[in-house]
Each structure stands twice: as C-alpha cells, then as structure tokens.
C-alpha cells in the first residue's frame, strides 16, 4: 500500500494539527476567571478522543487522493437508473455559499430573513406548478423522508375523518424498497400489486386487491410514474379512479419526475399526494449519498395536515406559521434542507419555463436513443418507447455464458464508465437499469454503447475476463462475506 | 441551453435512429388527457450573470449572523469553519458522486465514511457509529425506533429539557405506531431525577435526554443512565458534539445510543439545514442500526478496502421489514464533519471546546454584573449556552439589541411562557470579547 | 433424490416427524441458491411457531429469506452451534444442518405437505 493511502489514524503524529485552534478572548470584567474549575470533575472528559493529529498538507493530500478514487458525474458518465445523475450546475454551488444564505439561523427575526423565506415560498410555487398539486412542503430531508411524511399526512387525514381503519397500501412489485419500508413506519400494511406483461400495473389484480382490502380498507396506492421500468402508466387515470372510488388516496413516488416536467402533471392525472427528489430532478448534487431534499405536494383536501413550519405570505411579508392544529407536526428540526432548496431554486430560475420542458424532452430523447443502441446487444425488458430510463436483461448471457449483470457492471468500470443500476427492478431477472439523463451528449452515449457492445462480445468469447473485472480500479471485487462475518466498522489502536 | 449538450442536428440524428419523426412522437405513451398542453407558469430562464445578480439580491434581503455580534443558539451554534473544509468537501469528485454502492468505484467515499464512523465513535466514546442520518431530531426518532425493536416495550420516556423540535419529531414518528410517549419535567433547569424514576416505573424501551440540554445545562448523564438501566430501558443521549472536547462522553457513563446534530462540526447554519445526524451505539446492536455502515475488508488480491456492509438491514433489501426507511442520508455534510474533526485533531478539538466553555463562562460573569441580569439556574454546570434572567421581556430586550446591531438570544418564552423574561444566549469560540462587551453595554441601557 | 422420510414445503423447508417431535431445516437446493450465507436468526426454546408463518430468517450478503414453519407447536430445541457454523448447512443440510425441533401440536398438519417426489417436481419447474 502506498503510505499516502493509509488511514488518517495511521498517519497521525501526536503534536500535529492542520489548523491552529482559536484562543479564548475574554471580555472586560472576566479576566480573573478561574478556567480550571468551570466544570465539576465528574462532568469533565477524562478519556482521550484519540482523534488523528495530521498536518495541513498531509490532510489536503489525504482527501484529494481519496476524492480521485471516486467515480463522479464531473469525471464520468454515470447512468444509474432511477437516480437521475444529471449535471449539477456550478452556479448553484457558488450562490449557496453566499453568507446571506449560508449564515442564517432558523430562529432569527423573520424581518432579517425575508429573502430566504421568499425563496422558500417561490420554490413551493414552482413545484406546485410543475406537479399540478397546489400545496408544497419543503420540510422533508430526502426522498424516503418525503414518503414517510406524506404517508403520515394520509394517515392523519383518515384519522380526522374517522377512517383510521384504512391501513392497506397497495404497492406495485416494481417499486423502490423505500416505499414498503416507509409504510411500516407509518403503521400501514403493504400489499404487492403484480405487473402485467407490459410492465404496467395489472388492472385486474388491482381490482382484486382493492376488493380484498374490504370496503374501508384501502388507505393508498403508492405508484411510481413513469415506473422503474421507465414506462408511463398509460391507464393512470383509470387506476386513480379505482383507488378514489374505494376511498383511497393516490400517492406518487416522484423519483422519476424528470421525464414529465413541463409535459404532464401528476396533479392533473389523479395523483393526490407525491414527493419530489430535489437531488434528482432539480440537479442538487447527490454528494456521495446526500444531503437531498424530499418535498411533498398535496391537494387542497390534504393541505391542513402538512408538516410545520409552513411559510406563508401576509401582504408583502413572509413568515413561518406553526399554529396549525391539524398538522402531523415535524418530521425533523427546522424548516428543511434550505441549502438544497437554494440550489433547486437557482436551477429552476436558470432554466425557466421553456428550459424545464426541454429537460423532460431531452431526458426521454437520450434514453430512447441509448435504448436503441444497447438493444442491438442485449434484450430490452420492454422493447418499445420508454421515458427517461429503460431496463435491459442479461438473462440469456447469464444462462449461456455464465456472465451476470454484476459482471457486466464491473467490466464497465474498466472501460471508464460508471455502471447502471443492477438487479433492480426486482421483477426483471439480471436487470440493468439505465438512465442517461438529458445532460449527456450524443457522443458520450455513442461511446458508452460502443464500450457496452465490446463487453458483450467479450462476454461470449472470454467470459473469464468479466468474472475477474474490474482490474483497473484502486481495488478489485471486495470480500463482502468477510465484511459481515468479521466486521471491522472502525479503526482501533492496534 | 448550456445544460443540454446536443445540437439540433444531433437531436435529429437521434430521432432518426429511434425511428420517430419528432420529440413529440416520443411522448406517444402519454394519453392526450394526461398532457399539459400549455407552457408552465414559471418565469423565463436567466443567463448566468443575471441569475447571479438576482441571487445576490435575494441574499441581501437577509441579515447573516456574521454581520454583527450574534448570540443565537438553541440547536444551531456558530463555530469557525476552517477553510480546508470548504476546499476539500467542495471537490467535485465528492460533490457529484452517488451513494457508494459500487465499492470499486467509490473507495474514496467509503474510506471517508469509515474514518468518519471512527471519529464519531471516538468523540462519543461509543463502540460504533453509522455514516450519518438526516439531522439531530430525526436521529433521536430513529434511536427511539431502534430501542423499541430491541426492548419491545411500547413506551418511550423523554426529558422535557430536550430540544422542543426534537421532541416534536419524536412525537410525530411515534404517533402512528401505538407507542406511548411520556415527558419528564425539569427541576432547577435539569431533568428531575425522581420524576424520571417514577416515569420509568411501569417500564419503557428508552429514556431520552439531551446534554447539554435545551437550557444549556449539563445533565447528570451517569445518574439518568443508571435510572434507565434499572428500569431495563436504553439510555439515549443527544449531544452537542463539540462539547465532547471537554465534557465526559456518554460512552464513559454506559449510554446505549448517542445521537446529535453535526452542524457544529464544520457546517454553516443554513437556516437549519442541511447538516447531518450523528448516530453511535454498541457493536452488539449492529443488526438494529438504521442507515448506512461502512466496513473494512479485502479484495481478491488481499488489498485492504471498504464496502457498505450489513446491507440486509436496509430498505432496498428488507423492504417492509427494514430497520429504517432511510436511503439518501447527509453524506456530504458528514464529510465536512470528518474533515473538521481531522483538521482540529485531538488537541484542536479539545482546545475549541475549552474555548467555548471559557468564553461562555466569561460572558456569564460579565452579563451577570449588569443590574437585573442573572443566571436563570445559577450554579448549574453549562457548556456554551446560558439561560439568563432579564429585567424586561426577552422580546423587548431582543428588539433593543437589534437596534444596536446585535443578534440577541433565543426568547425562552417560546419554550415555556413562564420564562418570557429569560433568554438563551450562545457564546462560542467565535464570540469575541468585544462582542460580549457590546452586549453588556446594550443590556446596561435597558 | 432427497430423503423420502421427510416432508417438504414449496419454500424449501423440510420436516422430519418422530414421536410427535418435528425437526425442521432447509433443503440443499435452498442452501445452494442462498450462496454466501452470513447470518441465521432462530427462535428461542419455549417460543411458539405457527404453520405457514415465519420462524426465523437466513441472510446472505445481499438477501434475506424468511424461514417458514411446516408445523405449529412449541420450540423445544434449537441448533445453536449452527448459527456459528453456517458451512454445516452446505455440508449436511438434512442432518447436522437442522435448525429447530418443535413439539407438534397437530401432527396431522404434515399430511398435506409435499413428499420427496412432489418436491422434486417443484424444483424442476424453478
């Protein structure tokens, strides 16, 4: 191992630090303070933290070297399905660092944060217009958090109208894992809906399961549209009507909203409540796993239950509103991930109404183009027009050559591309789920398709090469069994 | 449009390859009745220069804390953020990467989180930590859920001295799970030990408290933990992470779960988010831990490396039976926390905490020399926030301070209407002696 | 051919009934398809299990499978050493790889389960 690749703790040399800690500066009248006796002995820390002691250059080198071991959008095509890895415009990062956004406190006098509150208010208005749902809350911290918050809104609504026995939530088998996990946290029971041959909700199965839930059993349907196969639910209005006539609410997982922006609005096709992922659709960076933001949008009927605080406008003045007796309450502290909202607002203002529609159009154009190119090498699970993404199946390759989706993914790393999402959705065997996004150029898509074609050829002629891939990355395939059976979850002094 | 990189010619070529005439044809799967058919009612786009001007104008309608002396805390405290944090955490290879599901393509992030987990374990004195959750409030809620799944008693006890927004969050999370939430009152600004013992008599899965608590006072964590353990409840402690440079960490008094908001560790206050949630616990609870965990292992060549591990706990595998629904967390902010802790190091971390402690006590001495001002709970130990009794309503005092260009403290009348003549003042290592002098001068004018 | 003194579930559990005592495990086929096993969660002695319901979980690195009980009754013995030595499952799924012993409350429950030949047919379809 190169010595610079060691852990921080192994580079530590007692006495070093990367920055000088500030020294206390005492106000007048306090010069004689006995600083040793400020805490009772039993509350004083006795144990060493053992934090690393590293000089500034070593620290800069440490993190710079680490950063270079990552694949990122700024270096590589990153077509993860359902993750919308689009370009993160640099202006967003510049403006969010303004002290007028970064250095604000949630408990400041509202007169001192009118710009910030105005931004929250306007961003809500834009999301309402894009989704066709009139009320937005920017409170939730991420997509799954938005789902949970939204399900709480639904539960609270039914509690309020005396129908708290509605506990069944229908979820298609192609859904994200967060959907059922969020239901459990909300006291709901999930029932899986089968997809039909076309990869869409099976209407007969839907009817059967609505009936099985009993006359006042259905709380909601959680649907992703376009779904995780990249297909638009053509019969969405009929589906929504079935749910509504059973007294349930239609929830939409907005992970795939990118395909619809400016073209079709969930609120117009029967959705009552949905979440957005600002870190997918609205270009705020994924940051190696967050922070994101998972705003929710609702109809008038569900508005009273939205979490607090709300931002409201009185005349020309914006203020927080907390006194909302029907609200579910808070699902986190403070207004939300404001730093993420600033970026999303900036993005929407940069694009404007025409730019936003072009996002959807080009996301679908890029996905279909890549589908056609890759479809020459491997079966597309549903070979017809897709929306923002599509799913390939490596089933034949696995059967005939012993090369699995994971092997293809690893070999793509050797070609310098980040692989697509694999083994999802669960209903497609050996799935590769590909979402190129609108920000990639044709030449990048061509290059990816060419590399993919070569790998397929290699898989047939020399499958062993794929089993051994990747070989060009900082490490090769990791022993994940060992990671669980002999867990090492932190460094310890040896 | 600069974010789309295909020329019109290329678009035409692509359409031809797909076998359709126009972009409109691509949307054939959408029934006409689902289409919008009009322009969105959103302003037209802006060029970069105009957009930047617009954003700066919006920013100018806000008054940043740094514009003058500021004493606002109550869940967000100001601390110095070393420039190294912005530079390194701003590297695009961190900013624009996804969750490290492909370990070979993410060794950078994975090693960062392994080191982060270690440093969080070190400062809290706990065995293990995860690689962050959303914030301190949701961390507390997740900790309560974890305790419920371990102890299986449908009751949670929480101190009233915990942050009101944390308690609200806890209440919201538990409301749909048929779990009783009991609040324990305060005595002299601290959690009442007798009342706690009583509240735990019929059993609970956990006792949750915060130290330093919302009033800035350090709790007797050892006593509270012992009371919890006598009742077979887990002890869940919310911490201000920087306090752990001088204050005994919960691991030293046998706490079971430590949570907290990581904002003081290298994150700007951002009107309340994003920062990151801290979550640390015992290794034996690993299978009940929410969120992502990074583990060390080796590759086929025996080279050391890192992977996301114990993934079967998580929603993408266990779905409705997952330990939590969390997926995206607050990784980039956790990276800031890691760089902050590494830059400070053992010595610097202790020194910053000591600075906060000393400055806050010095400020307390200076403020209490003003007639009519005293510590609300004199003699109780505190870290960097002090609850001060005032001669007038806190609301009025804050108005007066604002006129002097000073951002006053948190009006404790919001916490408890009986305390409307008191405020919570935060004093940290960035509060200068001059800031306190100005505050004292302004208070004398009341 | 798998042991014909056992009964099977379509979810790949097996059960052996002797003197009202049901010994339960999972088949070699299941073990093979759950490669890289890392964790086994079993009930405790004294717990009640219900026919058709989960009595535990078995995990590989990236998958979790529920274990379904072929009978109802009280758990009287648990193969604790197996938890620490999951390799035993691959080596001897029908012997040393047993998981729990249950005092069957209704031995007739076994009658409707698959015999070895019927289970083979299930596997052919998979």
Q: What pLDDT, on a 0 to 100 scale, did the predictor assign at position B321?
A: 83
Whole-number Å distance between alpha carbons of A121 and B292: 33
Q: Which residues of C touch A480 (CB under 8 A)?
A: 36, 61-62
The A-side interface with C (CB below 8 A) comprises: 480-481, 483-485
Cβ contacts of residue B50 below 8 Å, gap of 6+? none
State what percent of residues in chain B have pLDDT above 90.
95
Q: What pLDDT, on a 0 to 100 scale, did the predictor assign at position C35?
A: 76
Q: What pLDDT, on a 0 to 100 scale, did the predictor assign at position C125?
A: 78
Whole-number Å distance between alpha carbons of A223 and A338: 28
Q: What pLDDT, on a 0 to 100 scale, did the predictor assign at position C124?
A: 86
For residue A416, give how far its alpha carbon lies from the nearest alpha carbon of chain B (Å): 10
Provide φ and ψ at A250, rounded to 5°: -100, 115
Whole-number Å distance between alpha carbons of B394 and B414: 10
Paired residues of B159 in beta bridges: B184
Whole-number Å distance between alpha carbons of B79 and A166: 48
Dihedral angle over CA of A51, A55, A60, A65, nearest 10: -70
pLDDT at A24 over 80: no
State what percent of residues in chain B have pLDDT above 70.
100
Whole-number Å distance between alpha carbons of A176 and B297: 28
Q: What pLDDT, on a 0 to 100 scale, did the predictor assign at position A36?
A: 83
Q: Which residues of A touch B261 (CB under 8 A)?
A: 333
Identify which of C39, C61, C64 has the shortest CB distance to residue B318.
Answer: C64
Q: What pLDDT, on a 0 to 100 scale, did the predictor assign at position B7?
A: 95
Interval B228-270: pLDDT, tens: 999 999 999 999 999 999 999 999 999 999 999 999 999 999 9
Q: What pLDDT, on a 0 to 100 scale, did the predictor assign at position A270?
A: 98
Helix then strand then coil, in percent of chain A rounded to 5, is 40, 10, 45
- Beta carbons of A140 and B134 less than 8 angstroms apart: no
Interface test with C, best of B284, B312, B321, B323 (most C CBs within 10 A): B312
Interval A105-137: pLDDT, tens: 999 999 999 999 999 999 999 999 999 999 999
Q: Looking at residues A326-334, what average pLDDT do you find?
A: 97
Q: How confident is the model at residue B318 (pLDDT cuts 50, 70, 90)?
A: confident
Instruction: Compute the C-alpha angle B112/A483/A487, nearest 5°.
Output: 85
pLDDT at A217 over 90: yes
Whole-number Å distance between alpha carbons of B147 and B205: 6
Q: Taking every pair of C-alpha atoms in chain B, what is the biggest distance, in angstroms?
A: 83
State what percent of residues in chain A have pLDDT above 70.
100
Chain B residues 201-230 with CB within 8 Å of chain A: 218, 222
Instruction: Compute the C-alpha angle B134/B67/B246, nearest 5°.
Output: 55
Interface test with C, best of B317, B319, B323 (most C CBs within 10 A): B317
**Per the CB < 8 Å rule, is A481 touching C39?**
no
Q: What pLDDT, on a 0 to 100 scale, did the predictor assign at position B105?
A: 97
- E strand residue ranges, A195-342: 218-224, 249-253, 273-275, 296-298, 310-314, 317-321
Interval A402-431: pLDDT, tens: 999 999 999 999 999 999 999 999 899 999
Q: What pLDDT, on a 0 to 100 scale, did the predictor assign at position A253?
A: 96
Query: What is the H or E stretch that residue B409 is in?
Result: none
Whole-number Å distance between alpha carbons of C98 and B406: 72
Q: Which residues of C touch B318 (CB under 8 A)?
A: 64
- Beta carbons of B64 and B152 less than 8 angstroms apart: no
Whole-number Å distance between alpha carbons of A409 and A290: 23
Q: What pLDDT, on a 0 to 100 scale, did the predictor assign at position A44?
A: 97
pLDDT at C126 over 80: no
Q: What pLDDT, on a 0 to 100 scale, did the predictor assign at position B49?
A: 98
Provide φ and ψ at A300, rounded to 5°: -55, -40
Whole-number Å distance between alpha carbons of A487 and A489: 6
State what percent of residues in chain C have pLDDT above 70.
99
Interval B320-360: pLDDT, tens: 888 888 888 899 999 999 999 999 999 999 999 999 999 99
Closest CA to B141 of B121, B126, B120, B163: B163
Q: What pLDDT, on a 0 to 100 scale, did the predictor assign at position A23?
A: 77
Q: Looking at residues B18-36, what average pLDDT do you find?
A: 97
Half-sphere exposure of B290 (CA within 13 A, CB side): 33
Q: Looking at residues A153-160, what average pLDDT do you find?
A: 98
Task: Output the CA–CA distances (angstroms, integers) from residue B314 to A87, B292, B311, B319, C70, in the order listed.
Answer: 28, 8, 5, 7, 28
Q: What pLDDT, on a 0 to 100 scale, did the predictor assign at position C33?
A: 83
Q: How many CB atoms lie within 10 A of CB C112?
A: 9
**Per the CB < 8 Å rule, is C63 touching B311?**
no
Half-sphere exposure of A389 (CA within 13 A, CB side): 32
Closest CA to B405 of B78, B71, B76: B71
pLDDT at A25 over 80: no
Provide φ and ψ at A27, rounded to 5°: -75, 170
pLDDT at C4 over 90: no
pLDDT at A30 over 80: no
Whole-number Å distance between alpha carbons of B30 and B283: 51
Interval C52-65: pLDDT, tens: 999 999 998 888 88
A71 → chain B, closest CA residue: B105
Whole-number Å distance between alpha carbons of A346 and A358: 17
Q: What pLDDT, on a 0 to 100 scale, did the predictor assign at position A62?
A: 98
Q: Which residues of A touch B410 (CB under 8 A)?
A: 107
Cis peptide before A226 (omega within 30 of 0): yes
Interval B350-386: pLDDT, tens: 999 999 999 999 999 999 999 999 999 999 999 999 9
Whole-number Å distance between alpha carbons of B328 and A143: 7
Neighbours of chain C (3+ CB pairs under 8 A): A, B
pLDDT at B81 over 90: yes
Mean pLDDT of chain A: 96
Least confidently predicted of A466-470, B166-170, B213-217, C57-61: C57-61
Interface test with B, best of A3, A19, A288 (most B CBs within 10 A): A288
Half-sphere exposure of B384 (CA within 13 A, CB side): 32
For residue B235, give how far its alpha carbon lies from the nearest alpha carbon of chain C (Å): 26
State what percent of residues in chain A have pLDDT above 90.
94
pLDDT at B403 over 80: yes
Q: What pLDDT, on a 0 to 100 scale, did the predictor assign at position B374?
A: 98
Q: Looking at residues B109-128, what average pLDDT do you find?
A: 98
B140 → chain A, closest CA residue: A332
Identify which of B60, B104, B145 has the shortest CB distance to residue A473.
Answer: B104
Whole-number Å distance between alpha carbons of C56 and C66: 6
Q: What pLDDT, on a 0 to 100 scale, did the predictor assign at position C107?
A: 85
Q: Is B9 on the interface with A (CB under 8 A)?
A: no
- Beta carbons of B307 and A480 less than 8 angstroms apart: yes
pTM for the model:
0.96
Interval A201-213: pLDDT, tens: 999 999 999 999 9
Identify which of B17, B54, B341 has the shortest CB distance to residue A349.
Answer: B54
Q: What pLDDT, on a 0 to 100 scale, did the predictor assign at position B213?
A: 98
Q: Which residues of B touch A17 (CB under 8 A)?
A: 343-348
């Amino acid at each position: 191992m190169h010595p610079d690749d060691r852990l921080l703790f192994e580079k530590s040399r007692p006495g070093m630090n990367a920055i000088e800690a500030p020294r206390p500066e005492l106000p007048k009248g306090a010069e004689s303070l006995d600083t040793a006796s400020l805490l009772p002995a039993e509350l004083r820390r006795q144990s060493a933290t053992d934090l690393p002691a590293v000089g500034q250059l070593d620290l800069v080198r440490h993190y710079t070297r680490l950063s270079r071991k990552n694949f990122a959008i700024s270096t590589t095509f990153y077509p993860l399905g359902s993750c919308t890895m689009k370009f993160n415009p640099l202006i967003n990062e510049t403006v969010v660092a303004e002290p007028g956004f970064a250095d604000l406190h949630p408990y400041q006098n509202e007169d001192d944060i009118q710009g910030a509150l105005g931004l929250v208010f306007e961003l809500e208005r834009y999301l309402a217009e894009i989704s066709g749902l009139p009320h937005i809350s920017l409170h939730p911290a991420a997509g799954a958090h938005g789902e949970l918050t939204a399900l709480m809104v639904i539960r609270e609504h039914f509690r309020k109208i005396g129908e708290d026995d509605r506990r069944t939530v229908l979820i298609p088998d192609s859904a994200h894992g967060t959907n059922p996990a969020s239901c459990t946290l909300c006291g709901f029971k999930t029932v899986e809906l089968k997809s039909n041959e076309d990869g869409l909700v099976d209407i007969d199965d839907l009817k059967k399961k609505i009936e099985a839930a009993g006359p006042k059993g259905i709380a909601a349907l959680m649907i992703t549209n376009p779904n995780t196969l990249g297909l638009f639910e053509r019969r969405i209005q009929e589906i929504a009507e079935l749910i509504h006539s059973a007294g349930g609410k239609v929830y939409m997982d907005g992970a795939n909203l990118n395909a619809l922006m400016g073209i079709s609005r969930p609120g117009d096709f029967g959705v009552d409540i949905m979440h957005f992922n600002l870190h997918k659709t609205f270009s705020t960076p994924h940051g190696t796993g967050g922070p994101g933001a998972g705003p929710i949008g609702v109809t008038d009927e569900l508005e009273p239950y939205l979490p607090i605080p709300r931002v409201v406008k009185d005349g020309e003045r914006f203020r927080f509103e907390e006194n909302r007796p029907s609200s579910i309450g808070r699902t986190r502290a403070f207004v939300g991930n404001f730093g993420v909202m600033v970026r999303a607002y900036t993005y929407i203002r940069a694009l404007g109404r025409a730019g936003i529609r072009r996002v959807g159009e080009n996301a679908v154009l890029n996905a279909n183009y890549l589908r056609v190119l890759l479809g020459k090498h491997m079966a597309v699970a549903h070979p017809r027009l897709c929306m923002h993404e599509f799913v390939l199946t490596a089933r034949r390759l696995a059967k005939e050559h012993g090369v699995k989706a994971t092997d293809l993914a690893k070999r793509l790393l050797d070609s310098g591309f980040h692989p697509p999402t694999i083994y999802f959705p669960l209903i497609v065997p050996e799935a590769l789920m590909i979402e190129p996004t609108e920000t990639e150029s044709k030449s990048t898509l061509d290059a990816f398709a060419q590399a993919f074609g070569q790998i397929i050829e290699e898989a047939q002629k020399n499958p062993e090469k794929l089993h051994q891939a990747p070989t060009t990355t900082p490490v090769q395939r990791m022993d994940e069994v060992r990671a669980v059976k002999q867990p090492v979850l932190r460094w310890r002094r040896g | 449009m600069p974010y789309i990189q295909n020329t019109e010619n290329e678009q035409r070529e692509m359409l031809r390859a797909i076998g359709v005439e126009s972009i409109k044809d691509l949307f054939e799967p959408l029934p006409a009745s689902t289409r919008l058919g009009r322009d969105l009612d959103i302003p037209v786009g802006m060029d970069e220069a105009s957009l930047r001007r617009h954003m700066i104008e919006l920013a100018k309608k806000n008054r940043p804390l740094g514009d003058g002396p500021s004493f606002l805390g109550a869940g967000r405290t100001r601390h110095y953020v070393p420039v190294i944090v912005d530079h390194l955490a701003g590297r695009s290879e961190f900013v624009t990467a996804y969750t490290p599901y492909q370990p070979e393509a993410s060794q950078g992030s994975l090693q960062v989180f392994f080191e982060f987990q270690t440093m969080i374990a070190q400062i809290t004195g706990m065995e293990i930590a995860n690689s962050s959750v959303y914030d301190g409030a949701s961390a507390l809620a997740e900790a309560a859920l974890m305790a419920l799944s371990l102890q299986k008693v449908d009751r949670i006890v929480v101190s009233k001295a915990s942050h009101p927004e944390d308690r609200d969050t806890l209440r919201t999370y538990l409301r749909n799970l048929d779990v009783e939430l009991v609040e324990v009152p305060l005595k002299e600004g601290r959690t009442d030990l007798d009342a706690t013992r009583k509240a735990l008599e019929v059993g609970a899965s956990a006792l949750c408290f915060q130290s330093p608590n919302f009033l800035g006072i350090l709790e007797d964590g050892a006593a509270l933990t012992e009371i919890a353990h006598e009742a077979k409840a887990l002890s869940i402690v919310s911490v201000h992470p920087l306090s752990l440079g001088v204050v005994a960490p919960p691991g030293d008094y046998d706490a079971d779960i430590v949570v907290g908001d990581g904002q003081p560790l290298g994150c700007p206050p951002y009107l309340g988010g994003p920062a990151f949630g801290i979550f640390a616990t015992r290794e034996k609870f690993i299978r009940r831990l929410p969120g992502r965990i990074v583990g060390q292992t080796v590759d086929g060549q025996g080279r050391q490396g890192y992977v996301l591990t114990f993934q079967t706990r998580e929603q993408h595998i266990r779905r409705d039976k997952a330990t939590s629904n969390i997926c995206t967390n607050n990784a980039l902010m956790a990276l800031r926390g890691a760089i902050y802790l590494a830059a400070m190091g053992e010595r610097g971390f202790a020194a910053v905490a000591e600075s906060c402690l000393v400055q806050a006590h010095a400020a307390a001495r200076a403020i209490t020399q003003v007639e009519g001002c005293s510590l609300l709970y004199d003699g109780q130990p505190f870290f960097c926030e002090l609850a001060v009794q005032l001669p007038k309503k806190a609301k009025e005092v804050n108005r007066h301070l604002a006129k002097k260009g000073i951002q006053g403290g948190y009006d404790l009348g919001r916490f408890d209407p009986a305390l409307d003549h008191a405020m919570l003042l935060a004093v940290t290592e960035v509060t200068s002696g001059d800031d306190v002098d100005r505050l004292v001068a302004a208070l004398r004018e009341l | 051919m798998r042991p014909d003194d056992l009964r099977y579930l379509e979810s790949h559990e097996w059960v052996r009934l002797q003197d009202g005592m049901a010994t339960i495990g999972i088949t070699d086929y299941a073990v093979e398809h759950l490669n890289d096993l890392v964790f086994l969660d079993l009930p405790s002695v004294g717990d009640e299990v219900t026919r058709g319901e989960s009595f535990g979980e078995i995990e590989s690195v990236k998958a979790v499978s529920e274990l379904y009980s072929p009978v109802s009754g009280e758990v009287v013995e648990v193969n604790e050493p197996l938890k620490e030595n999951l390799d035993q499952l691959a080596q001897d799924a029908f012997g040393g790889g047993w998981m729990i012993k249950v005092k069957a409350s209704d031995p007739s429950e076994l009658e409707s389960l698959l015999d070895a030949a019927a289970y083979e047919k299930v596997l052919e379809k998979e």
